Homo-oligomer: A and B are copies of this chain.
């Protein structure tokens, strides 16, 4: 698949994407992903693609990838070609493409390092899965150069936000916490399912609260609920409740 060099997704990050798990050719939790894509279209002022167009693109991508039993499907929607500088053309001609790659089953725990790059809670894009993803790319890259797998990002107020590509949860005592959306947090599909299925406290919190945490978890649609092994060098242990959380969303992230 090729993209015109004047596509606004390429030139300006003017677009959105979704990453879905597909098991045996079936997209998992597909309605939640399209609903989020549509919310993103509203925020960006882009026309909403029909779900059937998303499914067709995803099916083609899975076939082109050789129909892996477990796949990561990425659906990308852009404001299309044209316009002048920052300005979109009068009637944007949206571009919708999908790609698929074989996905590993969720596995090892992750080491986290706090990034100096902060999520911009003063922009709606911090709550959306947009093509302007460079801050997360750079945060992840720096964490990896320093020997960890993932970055913990604060927002511009210095409050807990999320990992570069996952939502953050922590357990303290019997309670489960996650940063509120207006902390500059992606409205993650696994995050939303945990909130709906369990008693989760959505909070604004300084990073110091994690000093009292018993366990940390990261969530996204490909890895489900993953245990955090360390944060800035401080070790965490797996928690009995972690397995409960994984069971709670087992339908959304089936084991291998």
Contacts and interface: CB of A to CB of B under 8 A. Distances in A.
A85 B102 CA distance: 12
Interface string A118-133: 1011111100001111
A89 to B, nearest CB: 12
B5 A141 contact: no
A12 interface: yes
Interface string A10-31: 1111100101000000000000
B76 A11 contact: yes
Contact of A86 (B11, B44, B99, B136): B136
Contacts of A56: none
A2 B121 CA distance: 34
Given A122-B118, A136-B86, A156-B122, A5 B6 contact: no
A122 B120 contact: yes
A88 interface: yes
